[in-house]
Chain A
Amino acid sequence: MSIEVKNLTKKFNKKTVIKDISFKVNSGEILAIVGFSGSGKSTVLKLICGLIEKDSGIIKTSGDIAMVFQYSALIDSLNVEDNIAFALKERKDLRKKYTNEEIKQIVKEKLNLVGLSGIENKFPSELSGGMQKRVSFARAIVTSPNIILYDEPTAGLDPVSSTLIEDYIVRLKEETNAASIVVTHQMSTIMRTADKIIMLYNGDVVFTGTPQDLMKQDTPYTKQFVTASLDGPMKMLQG
């Protein structure tokens, strides 16, 4: 139940998006990946869960991987219940494991966890962005995975829903001893969930440390990130 990434490199049409990065996440640990838009955070997650092929390097994972997508990625022809129960109903090794009643119960439980109940029969298009995000959170954790990748789980949520999700990310880690990676821009999410942080810029790791290290702002990168300043080593526009 851990993730180990060594010298990972990925190019898209000759442009190197991930440059030789390495890190490790043990079970029971949460790594936050931060960095400006386009720095390659989502790409790292997609490489880890095998959605895109790496060019070189090593990715070692042990256990069942789940992912909360940046834009929810709910299946829009299925209602909330079927979305959350998707793996339980369609996955080969789980398909016949639960009765319909049990599945209904599990879905209800997970919906309660993310602070939404009674929306089982709604379709994704009938939900707000934040609600979709929380449903996709519920869908990801329904199989009790031991590696969980969160791509901006709290983006677009109101502060209270954010706190709810942040608390749950931590609780899930404590209960299941999962290894988690949280990609986020949000200071609150970093401070509340992360055990350690890496900052990506242009595909390079420019900072590694704890949330406390980040707050010290003793490198140009951390200073610029925490103060959200335009001045600093990181430029927003890169071709």
Chain B
Amino acid sequence: MRDFSLKSTITYKLYRQLIILFDDFLSTIGDTVIYGKDVLKFIFKRDFNMPALLEQCSRFGVSSLPITLSIVGMTAIIVSMQVAGEMVKQGAGNYVGMLVAILIIREAGIIMSGFAIISMIGSSIASEIATMRVTEQIDAIQVLKVNPIRYLFVPRVLSGTLMMPPVLVIASLVGIIGGGVAAHLASGLSYRAYFESVWSGIYMKDMNVALLKAIVFGFTIALISCVCGYNANGGARGVGIATTKAVVWSFVAIVLWDLVFSIIFFF
């Protein structure tokens, strides 16, 4: 016999799934706020381990750079290739550089860098800390009376906050240059015309907002990844779940932040 009860309907199951997801998101955000306060306390007291911070900085900045540059660079190149021909035909070739610059600085640079950092750094932070959790390494740290927030979270979150702006600047520069090369190759736009118009697309306000976003995003990604790893439980499967959560909730969080920034600064 088929089951026609409410609980068997797809709509019901979908809603249930959504509620579970929403609940998980909220509890992650709640924990993120709680641990975030502790992390900030240590940072403001300048109470952290310098060598550990430098190690995390090089992981965050240097090792993520190839991927971040490729993703942001490719975005600029693709956009530039697609619009340059059309714009040159319509006599608007002088605006290609401006368009790419605005796009990269206002939105594409930071959001694409954010995605790249989440998939490379966020996931590795989460799986590393989750593994430490399920193999009782974090328990051992606690029994040895070392604060796990100071030892694990602070260097990672601080390095995220410090390194995201330079990563963004380098990625954006590469993106804008790449866009120029693409426009030149695709539609014969001269470098001079491109780079002259780039200047008219660069606004001080946009750059400040972008850097502020970079700081906030870097902090958020590293912190959510730490929290998801820290809350892991139950063996290898738990590590997998924690990593997925870290990636998904970091994505959602930075998109929400982006919305908040747009409302505050461009509405």
Residues of A within 8 A of B (CB): 46, 49-51, 65-67, 69, 71, 73-77, 86-87, 90-92, 136, 139, 143
Contact = CB atoms under 8 A, between A and B. Distances in A.
A75 B132 contact: yes
B135 A86 contact: no
Nearest to B151: A90
A49 B139 CA distance: 10
B136 interface: yes
Nearest to A142: B144
Contacts of B145: 87, 91-92
Contacts of A65: 143
Given A87-B146, A90-B146, A91-B145, A73 B140 contact: yes
Q: Which of B141, B142, B143, B151 has the most CB of A within 10 A?
A: B143
B134 to A, nearest CB: 10
Contacts of B144: 66, 86-87, 90-91, 139, 143
Given A69-B136, A90-B151, A75 B141 contact: yes
Contacts of A74: 137, 140
B17 interface: no
30 contacts: A46-B139, A49-B143, A51-B139, A51-B143, A65-B143, A66-B143, A66-B144, A67-B143, A69-B136, A71-B136, A73-B137, A73-B139, A73-B140, A74-B137, A75-B132, A75-B137, A76-B131, A76-B137, A86-B146, A87-B144, A87-B145, A87-B146, A90-B49, A90-B144, A90-B146, A91-B144, A91-B145, A91-B146, A92-B146, A139-B140
A78 to B, nearest CB: 10
Contacts of B131: 76
A132 B139 CA distance: 16
B147 interface: yes
Dominant secondary structure at the A interface? loop
Given A49-B143, A73-B136, A75-B132, 18 more contacts: A46-B139, A51-B143, A67-B140, A71-B135, A71-B136, A73-B139, A74-B137, A74-B140, A75-B140, A76-B131, A76-B135, A77-B128, A87-B146, A90-B151, A91-B144, A92-B145, A136-B140, A139-B140
Nearest to A45: B143
Contacts of B132: 75-76
Contacts of A50: 142
Contacts of B49: 90
A92 B45 CA distance: 14
Contacts, number: 52
B255 to A, nearest CB: 32
Dominant secondary structure at the B interface? helix
- Size range of the chain B interface in the assembly: 10 to 19
| 9 closest Cβ pairs, A-B complex | A73-B140, A73-B136, A90-B146, A87-B144, A67-B143, A51-B139, A75-B137, A49-B143, A91-B146
B135 A73 contact: yes
Contacts of A90: 49, 144, 146, 151
Interface in B143-159: 143-147, 151
B15 to A, nearest CB: 26
A221 B59 CA distance: 56
A74 B128 CA distance: 14
A69 B135 CA distance: 10
Contacts of A46: 139
A71 B140 CA distance: 11
A25 B2 CA distance: 62
Contacts of B140: 67, 69, 73-75, 136, 139
Nearest to B139: A51
Interface in B94-150: 128, 131-132, 135-137, 139-147
B135 A51 contact: no
B91 to A, nearest CB: 59
Nearest to B138: A73
A152 B131 CA distance: 22
B147 A51 contact: no
B142 to A, nearest CB: 6
B135 A92 contact: no
A218 B139 CA distance: 39
A136 B136 CA distance: 12
A66 B137 CA distance: 14
